Amino acid sequence: MKRLSALWRVAVALAAMAYVASTSSPACAQSAEEYFRGKTVRIVVGYGPGGGYDIYARMIAPYLSKTLNANVIVENQPGAGGITALNRTMSNPPDGLQIMIVNGLGAALSQLTDQQGVRYDLAKLSHLGTVSASPWVWLVSSNSPIKSVKDVLDNKRLYMWSSSGPIDGLSDGAAFTCAALHLECGIVLGYPGSNEAALAVAKGEMDMIYVSDTSANNYVKAGQNRGLATMARVKSRFFPDLPTIFEATKVSPEGAALFDFHSTAENLGRILVAPPGIPADRLAYLQNAVKMALSDPVLVAEGERTQRYVDFIDAETTRKATVSVVADITPAQKKRIVEIIASAEKK
């Protein structure tokens, strides 16, 4: 019995030693900094090479590689306007080794309107921050007799808006503007992109266009278009003298709610997300690395020089804005949003 008792004590001691060794192993004690060091992190782009999101990702990658001390590569996963890649991001392992640059406005509205194939929840993804966001602008032709928003409201007629496709920013922005101001509008889809849509307005084929201020700046500088209003409560850096829509006309409470919702969705801009469930310390380290990379004065200057502007917004602010758009709205508000988007798709 004494021998058995001694053997039992030895077994217990060995088990305890094994437990201590396992819990204090390098793998368990590894810091987030050590975890990322030398690993390969992918920035996924839901579109093909050469587009705006691809260019942004490739511009950011070297700076994030430096702050993470990791190899950062860009991987294009085109399909369904970014939905396919976002679905994959939602279900990928939460190891912190994949992030995605996302069209926040398009992703949010696609989710809200239950677009075919959407299996992600933008609110549940891990948020890393916003790369850039800016207000959008209402443009007409430089030769248009329309000189102000008041002119539009005073002339009760059908206004034709140019756009490329449903939930492209152009069409939904036009639809929200028409709903908020009670305008009779026709929204024409099918232009290859905003350049062609803006040119159609300049030529007089269409009356107006709703477009990002960075694009608007190029069209106005070229002399082909003229701004009527900035479609948010803040002014554009490019058009400091252009009135906001709230300055240009008296907006009803319902109209203000629609403008505010859409501008909040627009402010999601180009956001960086990762799969849900990343360990807290690893996620915090990744968020801080993104913050340092996107706050680098050299990157900001590069963006200014190439007109790929970087206006970093932190992860928590980005997350709260996302939740307010896709999760905090009431069923009645969602129904109204769906109706407005559907009206643009039918025109």
CATH number at residue 300: 3.40.190.150
Same domain assignment for residues 238 and 180: yes
- pLDDT interval class at 347 (50, 70, 90): low
Same domain assignment for residues 167 and 187: yes
Is 345 within a domain? no
Is 19 within a domain? no
Same domain assignment for residues 124 and 73: yes
Looking at residues 280-308, what average pLDDT do you find? Answer: 97
Say if CB 269 and CB 133 are below 8 A apart.
yes
Same domain assignment for residues 61 and 204: no
Same domain assignment for residues 122 and 54: yes
Residue 23 pLDDT greater than 80, yes or no: no
Residue 10 pLDDT greater than 50, yes or no: no
pLDDT above 70 covers what percent of the chain?
91
Is 6 within a domain? no
Same domain assignment for residues 307 and 257: no
Please give the pLDDT value at position 202. 97
Same domain assignment for residues 140 and 249: yes
Please give the pLDDT value at position 165. 85
Residue 27 pLDDT greater than 80, yes or no: no
Is 179 within a domain? yes
Residue 13 pLDDT greater than 60, yes or no: no
Same domain assignment for residues 251 and 170: yes
Say if CB 117 and CB 80 are below 8 A apart.
yes
Same domain assignment for residues 60 and 84: yes
- pLDDT interval class at 345 (50, 70, 90): low
Is 11 within a domain? no
Is 296 within a domain? yes
Same domain assignment for residues 145 and 250: yes
Provide the residue range defining the domain that includes 90: 32-133+267-330
Same domain assignment for residues 149 and 251: yes
Q: What is the CATH number of the domain that holds 185?
A: 3.40.190.10
pLDDT in tens, 243-272: 999 999 999 999 999 999 999 999 999 999
pLDDT in tens, 43-56: 999 999 998 899 99
Is 346 within a domain? no
pTM: 0.86
Residue 157 pLDDT greater than 60, yes or no: yes
Choose the final residue of a domain: 232, 265, 298: 265
Same domain assignment for residues 199 and 298: no
Strands laid side by side in the 208-212 sheet: 185-188, 159-162, 208-212, 136-141, 225-230
Overall domain count for the chain: 2
Residue 239 pLDDT greater than 90, yes or no: yes
Is 53 within a domain? yes
Choose the final residue of a domain: 209, 234, 265: 265
Please give the pLDDT value at position 320. 96
Residue 107 pLDDT greater than 70, yes or no: yes
